[in-house]
Each structure stands twice: as structure tokens, then as C-alpha cells.
A and B are shown apart, each in its own frame.
Chain A
């Protein structure tokens, strides 16, 4: 390989490297520095040491509330979404007439899901006189205050995220189709029923994909912003005030960029610890083909 071509690969990837350096690495490192400063955007940052973190853990009631709401949201959203996505993927794995139409239809919400328009639509569906309450009333029930009741608001926002199950579903579907059919045939011959086959063959064989989806969905859930921002603006009583909303408010409404950076870093550390925990636990429940442990 000549001297010129030695760096050809680097030239090819340079647009990505440049973009990563400018728009990810630089803000990432800068935000870490800013988290130790008092910075109002308009004047130079002033070094305050650990003051932001001390305030965060010792005096900030809003942070505690927001953290609790965020953890509840993630704990609700991730299992619900993964279970639902896997269930639909199993259904769509059957050879049915027009199955591709169904697969596309179920994927559509994921394409639309993050948009402002869908959040607005969600607000109308769960409004006082919205579709959901109309159905409940038709069935003889009492209308529910979905957004005004702090106990219901977070659940309603959670459903919006679960509704966007398409991308997880497609990955599950691909995994289901890659399971060796001869294993199913052998199990059937041995007298195993559908549930036994699913539990003892399908599930273990798709655990790498479950693990992947678990990590991705957890990270995404921690970063949720659009739904609560548009529908409830974090209310009522901060019952949907997720940490990304709090970071946004501190940074762009209160002009406390240093404090917002500190919250962002705490959020990052929480996500990192949970991800590491998931990786550590994966040794006990994720099965890789060719793995000699089993």
C-alpha cells in the first residue's frame, strides 16, 4: 500500500469523525467542564467547583421529584414496550395472508412517533371529550381525567412511548425469523406445546436481541422530551416532569447552563450505571450461539 493510500480510509471517514468531534465530543466534554461553573449563557463561565452537584443532591427538591418521575417512567415504559413489541412480532411471524401489510402498518407509529403532530394527536385522543373517554362512556363507565390527574398523566405519556413499538418489533421479528426451524420440529416431535416451545426455544435464542432492545429502549426512555413537553409541560404537579425537561428549563429558561450541565451529567451517569448493570447481568441470561456456557 503506497504512502497516499495509507490515509485513504481516514479520508473516507473524516466527515463522520469531524461531525462527531464537533457535535458530540466537544459538547460532551464542554458540558462536563460547565457542570463545575456558574454560566448564564451571556457572560463567561465562573468556576464554582462542586457547588452545582452539592445543590443538586442536598437542596434541590425539584431534582429529586424529577428523578423519581423519570425512573418510574423508565420502569413502566421499557418492560411494557418490549413485551408488546415481542408479542406483536410473534403474531406477525405467522404466515398469514397480507402479512406484509400488517407488518408495515404496525411499523408506521414508529416513523411518526417522535413528531410533534403525534403528541398533539395524543392529547386529543385522551382529552376530556376525546376518543378514549367516548369509548369508556359508551361502555357505561365514567370519563377519566387523563391529563389533569397526577396519577394518570404519567401513565398516559408512557402509553405514547409504548405506542411507538415498531422499531423494537422489527428487530424482534428479524430475530424470530432467524431461529432454526429444525429446533421447532424436533420440539414438536418430542411433544412440546406452543407455550413450551416459545419459552424454552424461542426466548433463549432471541435473548441477544432482547438485550439489545433493552439497552436501546432504556437509553431512549431516559431521553424522552417531546411527549411531556407538548402535552403536559411536565405537569400537573410535576408528575410528568422528566429530567430532560428539567435540564431544558434550567438551561434555556433560567439561564443556569452550569446547573443544567450538572443534571445532564447525573442523568448520563445513571444511564451508564444501568447499562453496565445490564451488561453484567447479561452473562446470566443472554445466550449466544456457539457459547459454551450452556
Chain B
């Protein structure tokens, strides 16, 4: 009889354990190093908390569409890596993702500052935990610049002066920088911000801050970079089709000797460089008489929990492990940039697990000043308004004033659709 009772007790305990253990899914985008680190971290955290987590990972391209389709169908993963600007798109009123404050018994929210928690909130609801902060910086190929006999630039004037020197000393195929598509749009945004001291879209009022004349000026500045042999003409850079910078042979062999990139892309753009080619982040270029350095800084990504998940508590345990607990933090490393969580940052710093280049670029991002960036700067329709009109301008289809007018009109339309009641 005693044996029977013991067996029953053991079976009940075992069953109770199984009920706690959850089958979870986690989705993210990234490169190989991030995929490997995250899978290792999921294994460690799953083991620690008794859950099984299926990884779902892709490259950047198409991930937005995949998440959108999953959320629409209610089949999204329990834990998701979400790009910061997507938060208001997927969660207009803050109810698109789980409210993480309701899970604060499990997730240690004290590891983030109030401002960081605010960045992951929509309408006061905490929808995502900041994983890291990122921003755009100028990065130059030091090898090519040395060959041209020039110091790396710190001002726009120095960069513009370098264009003709590159052509004369190294050849017409060498350029100090590149900028088409999104990079071109962000160069225009940077110049306009520096000149006016205002962000293009006001983060507080959801209104456009620039006049048509100010936008026209910024577009004409872009053209001056083309005219001075600083950046390749749009048409020439598309000669091999649309390809990412790190896949472009002109970048890997040093013919394109500079770019304006996220600090978190350091390894992605430095790894494919030919032997002997080195790059260095220099921060932001100063504009004569600028109102602000104009840093384009934002939360790079957040981790969110699905509002439809049946296992939010279990997902919260895994989330906390990945972001705050030593086992998860060690396995994740700096695969998503310098971590925002204080605990993770301290741990990685004490273990020398953050590459000096990454730490240096991050310091430049955090030190620089600039007006707050509106999440809708990365709304697909805002981006396409800027890039399509810049392209039409670059191909000589429209003049700068028309491009500026069309851009602002299209952006205004997006803002009206989304923010005006």
C-alpha cells in the first residue's frame, strides 16, 4: 500500500512538472553569428527553466512581412525580436503585444532606465524590452584614405574636399563614400537636422518640422556630394543590381571608402573586406554653423511577448534569462550590440566580451546629441516617399524643389492617416 501511495505521489509530482514546462517559439532576424548565439542561449535558458523553445530565424529581408502575416493570423511566436519602429505599427493602442509590466514578478524591469522602458512602450503599455541602442555613424576605409594621402574627415568640408583628391590620386573609380536608397535618405535627413536643429518629424507632435525650402536645401546638398565626386551617382551604383553594401565588390576592395551606417553593423561590413583593408568609425561629420550634431539614435530592437501566447509566464522566464540572467547573457554575448540591460552590460564588460570597436562606436552613439527620432521615420511609406523621390531627383526626372514637395506631401499623408483622429 505504501509503495502504491509513493508511486502515486511521484507520478503526481512528475505530472505537475510537465504542466509547468512549456513548448515555446522564438523568432528573430539576423546574421549567422546572432543565430548561433541565440540558439545557444535558448538551449541554456530552456534547460534552466524547464521549457522547450523552438527557434525561428531569418535574415532581415522579408522578416517584417513574415511577422506581419503571423500576427494577422494569430500564429506569431511566443517571444519575438521586434524592430523598434514596428511597435506602433503592430500595436497601435498598446494591445498588440503582452503588457510586460504585468509580468514584472518574473522579469526584472529594474535593469532598464525609465527612458528605456518608455522607448518600449506604446500608449503607456510596456510592449517590448530594449535589447540595445543603435545609431548611424560615418565609417571610413582607413587603408584607402591613407593611399589617397588624406586624414579621415571630421567635417563635411573635409569630406567634400576629398572627392577630387580621390579621383586624381587613386583613379575615377575611387570614391570617399557611398549613399543610395536608405543611406541617401538618411544623409539628407542628417544634413537637414544639422542645419535646422530640428528632426524631420517631430517626435512629440507627429508633425513635419521642415519647410519645403529646408528639404530642398538638404536634397541639393546631396547633389553637391555627387557633383564633387564624393559619392557614386545613383545610376552607377545600381549597375550591378540592388545589393547590400557588404556584398558590393567596390566596398570589399576599397574603391568605396566610406559609408554612413548603424554602429551595430561593424562586423557585417568589416568581415568581407579584402585582406589589408581596415575600417574605422569616426562619429558624425560637423557642418559649418550646425545647430546640432543630429545623431540618428534609436532603440535598435526590442524583445516582445505575443499577446496571443498561452504561455506568457514561461515566455517571461525565458525573456528574463536571455536579457538579465548570467547563463543567457553569457551565451547571447554582444550578438545584438552592446546590451541595454544593466546586468548584462556589467557582466559582458567584466568578461571583456564586447569588442573594443563595438564599445567605441557605441560610446560615440551615446555621447552624440540630436533631436528625438520619430518611429515613423522608418515607416515603409515614409521611407519609400523619401527614397523614391530622391531616386527620381538623382536620375534627373524632377528638380530638388519638386522632390522636396512630393516627399513632404507623401509623409504628411502617412502622418495624417495614422495620427489624426
A residues with CB within 8 A of B: 41-42, 123-124, 126-130, 145-150, 231-233, 235-238, 249, 252-255
Contact = CB atoms under 8 A, between A and B. Distances in A.
B239 A237 contact: no
18 contacts: A41-B68, A127-B241, A129-B240, A130-B240, A145-B235, A146-B239, A147-B239, A148-B234, A148-B236, A232-B238, A232-B241, A238-B388, A252-B65, A252-B68, A252-B69, A253-B64, A253-B65, A255-B68
A235 B64 contact: no
Given A148-B235, A236-B391, A128 B240 contact: yes
A146 to B, nearest CB: 7
B240 A254 contact: no
A8 B237 CA distance: 62
A236 B71 contact: no
Most chain A CB neighbours (cut-off 10 Å) among B68, B90, B239, B391: B239
B242 A42 contact: no
Interface string B387-421: 01001100101000000000000000000000000
Given A42-B72, A42-B92, 19 more contacts: A41-B68, A41-B72, A42-B71, A147-B238, A147-B239, A147-B240, A147-B241, A147-B242, A148-B234, A148-B236, A148-B238, A232-B238, A232-B241, A232-B242, A236-B238, A253-B64, A253-B380, A253-B384, A255-B89
Contact of A128 (B90, B239, B391): B239
B242 A149 contact: no
Contacts of A148: 234-239
Contacts of B384: 253
Contact of B381 (A127, A146, A231, A254): A254
Nearest to B240: A127
A235 to B, nearest CB: 7
B171 interface: no
B65 A236 contact: no
Where chain B touches its partner, the secondary structure class is helix
Given A129-B249, A253-B380, A235 B68 contact: no
A255 to B, nearest CB: 7
Nearest to A130: B240
B96 interface: yes
B243 interface: yes
Contacts of B240: 123-124, 127-130, 147
B273 to A, nearest CB: 18
Contacts of A124: 240
Interface in B46-74: 64-65, 68-69, 71-72
Given A237-B391, A253-B380, A255-B89, A123 B239 contact: no
Nearest to B383: A253
B210 to A, nearest CB: 23
Contacts of A231: 241-242
Contact of B391 (A145, A232, A235): A235
B381 A145 contact: no
A126 B72 CA distance: 39
A237 B92 CA distance: 32
Contacts of B381: 254
A123 B243 contact: yes
B380 A254 contact: yes
Contacts, number: 73
Contact of A150 (B92, B96, B236, B395): B395
Interface residues of B, number: 29
A42 B89 CA distance: 9
Contacts of A233: 242
Nearest to A233: B242
A226 B391 CA distance: 23
A249 B388 CA distance: 14
Interface string B362-401: 0000000000000000001100100010011001010000
A211 B391 CA distance: 41
A240 B119 CA distance: 38
A146 B238 CA distance: 9
A145 B239 contact: yes
A243 B29 CA distance: 28
B172 to A, nearest CB: 14
A123 B140 CA distance: 27
A107 B242 CA distance: 29
Contacts of B69: 41, 252
A231 B397 CA distance: 23
A236 B235 contact: yes
A70 B68 CA distance: 27
Contacts of A127: 239-241
Contacts of B391: 235-237
A96 to B, nearest CB: 38
A168 B387 CA distance: 39
A146 B96 CA distance: 44
A249 B392 CA distance: 19
Contacts of B236: 128, 145, 148
A42 B96 contact: yes
Contacts of B64: 252-253
A256 to B, nearest CB: 9
Contact of B238 (A235, A253, A254): A235
- For the complex of A and B, the 10 pairs showing the least CB-CB separation, nearest first, are A148-B238, A127-B240, A252-B65, A41-B72, A128-B239, A148-B239, A253-B380, A123-B241, A147-B241, A148-B235
Most chain B CB neighbours (cut-off 10 Å) among A42, A124, A231: A42
Contact of A237 (B89, B96, B249, B397): B397
A24 B402 CA distance: 44
Nearest to A148: B238
